[in-house]
Amino acid sequence: MKMHWEVHPGTGPLALFVHGFLMSRAQWLRNTAPLAGVCRPVVVELWGHGRSPAPDDPVAYAPDALVQTLDDIRSELSEARWLLCGYSLGAALTLRYALEHPERIIAHAWTNSTSALADSAQQNAWREQGLAGRQRFINDGIPAIERIAVHPRHAKHLPEDVRTPLLADASGHNPLGIANIMAYTTPELSVRDRIAHNSRPALLIQGQRETRFNPFADHAKAHMAMLEVAHLNTGHGVNMEDAPGFNAALAGFISRHSG
């Protein structure tokens, strides 16, 4: 069983782009071509999302197992080191990847992610909610998934050329995979106490209008080693709401660190 991934044309190092919860490869539609001048984008879809299957075994959804699955893509591409870019839940995974395998990373960028920096109380709450609701999401399927607050159908600021394909992909999400990510992935993702050990150049592209993320961003700015920050006037959907700003910030970062 393999995750769906695809390589886009470009010049320079490979760069893995990992989407957020209930998103898909379509999240990056406004980014892959503009970034082709500095990297070769690789877009992936996590278990249960879009074109990727949903393993039955909960072990496949553990953060370390997901990091290994992402690293298997690098191995299949025969690349010694690559760039990482993660969004929201995907950012929690790419941060963990960079912390666990810095020798395989050139540099890494990430956007607003509460799951990456959650404290123990929040993790415990997610753990209880995820396990308690798991069977309900499996049984009720797509209608239950569509009621989740972060489903793209509820997003107010996404451009239509991204929102429409995101919704099309979301209609094919696998309820088992989504339920398992909520139960076994999200509650275990936080690297809050490990970010001081980051050893590769890192860029937080922060959407400043998502005020609930501000305390988490402040924590990262105070504690994360080798961190640069780019501020954009967006909400959570940083790379979609202000694609030109995101692309410029990321392209500059890649150019500085991949030479």
pLDDT of residue 217: 98
pLDDT of residue 3: 98
Averaged pLDDT of the chain? 97
- 4-257 in CATH: which number? 3.40.50.1820
pLDDT of residue 236: 97
**Where exactly are the structural domains of the chain?**
4-257
Distances (CA, A) of 202 to 23, 46, 61, 120, 218: 23, 22, 25, 24, 15
Neighbours of 14 (CB within 10 A): 20
Helices 63-76 + 89-100 axis angle, to 10: 70
For 152-167, the DSSP string reads: GGG-SS--HHHHHHHH
Section 4-31 average pLDDT: 98
Q: What contacts 140, CB < 8 A, 6 or more positions away?
A: 175
Q: Tokens 């509460």 — which residue?
A: 114
pLDDT of residue 258: 87
Q: What is the pLDDT of residues 122-180, one digit of tens each?
A: 999 999 999 999 999 999 999 999 999 999 999 999 999 999 999 999 999 999 999 99
pLDDT of residue 1: 87
For residues 193, 199, 185 and 65, what is the CA-based torsion angle, rounded to 10 degrees?
Answer: -130
pLDDT of residue 151: 96
Distances (CA, A) of 58 to 38, 48, 63, 184, 212: 37, 12, 11, 7, 30
Give 231's DSSP letter.
E
